[in-house]
Amino acid sequence: MQMPSVQMLAGGEPIRVGSIFCIGRNYAAHAAELNNPVPKSPLVFLKPASSLLASGGRVAIPAASKDVHHEVEVVVLIGTGGKGFSTEEAVDHISGVGIGIDLTARDIQSRAKEKGHPWSIAKGFDGFAPLSALIAPQAVGDLTDLSLSLTVNGEVRQSGTTANMLWPIADLVSYLSSIFTLYPGDLVFTGTPEGVGPVESGDQLQAILGDGIVTLDIGIE
């Protein structure tokens, strides 16, 4: 079985995925809606590559959970690896931008948090990291003021802008590179705005980046 890959728009070759870094509580309003404190530094967790799902796919609610939530996020692809990037240098290490959904088994996560355990199971089921095709950063524009939204069955559930991030995208990449060596093909899910909520079997989700420059469509079964 081959490792998952991500697709670049405009006919680019698929890129094999490395690590999937995720940032929790990067929007203050989202932290508040879950009654979580705002962290003093970026809250980092990982998803397995097997959680990736391309647009047009379908994800099954796992039997172990009765409360799976959607969390729409801007996602960036590391194109040039290394370690110890400054914030100013970080943008030059980003080769792709897309829209993703961090699906979360909230009930499993809540039980893990109560016990002080990691969130890996709650975040890592197959298909729990749906991701659009990616576009070059130059085509997206200002990463510090980029809109993102999510609809469920045509109803807007989440709508936000990266201007409200506690740590902007370049800061996140710089921070990650201060701890980990980053490699080409690594992905960063950069956090979700408020409005997260449950999904059910039969739902159709659409995540939108900017004014529709990139979209992601998935089904829940």
Identify which of 107, 131, 159 has the alpha carbon closest to the alpha carbon of residue 217. 131
- What is the per-residue pLDDT for 132? 97
Mean pLDDT of 102-123: 96
pTM > 0.85: yes
Q: Kindly report, residue by residue over 148-183, the tens digit of the pLDDT.
A: 999 999 999 999 999 999 999 999 999 999 999 999
Options 2.40.37.10, 2.60.120.380, 3.90.850.10, 3.40.50.150; which CATH number does 5-220 get?
A: 3.90.850.10
Instruction: Write out pLDDT tens, residues 175-207.
Output: 999 999 999 999 999 999 999 999 999 999 999
* Mean pLDDT, the chain, whole residue set: 95
**Digit-coded pLDDT (tens) for 127-140:** 999 999 999 999 99
Residue 30 backbone dihedrals phi, psi, to 5 degrees: -70, -40
Q: pLDDT per residue over 10-66, tens digit each?
A: 667 889 999 999 999 999 888 778 787 878 999 999 999 999 999 999 999 999 999
Give the mean pLDDT of 71-84. 97
Predicted confidence at residue 26, as pLDDT, reads: 94
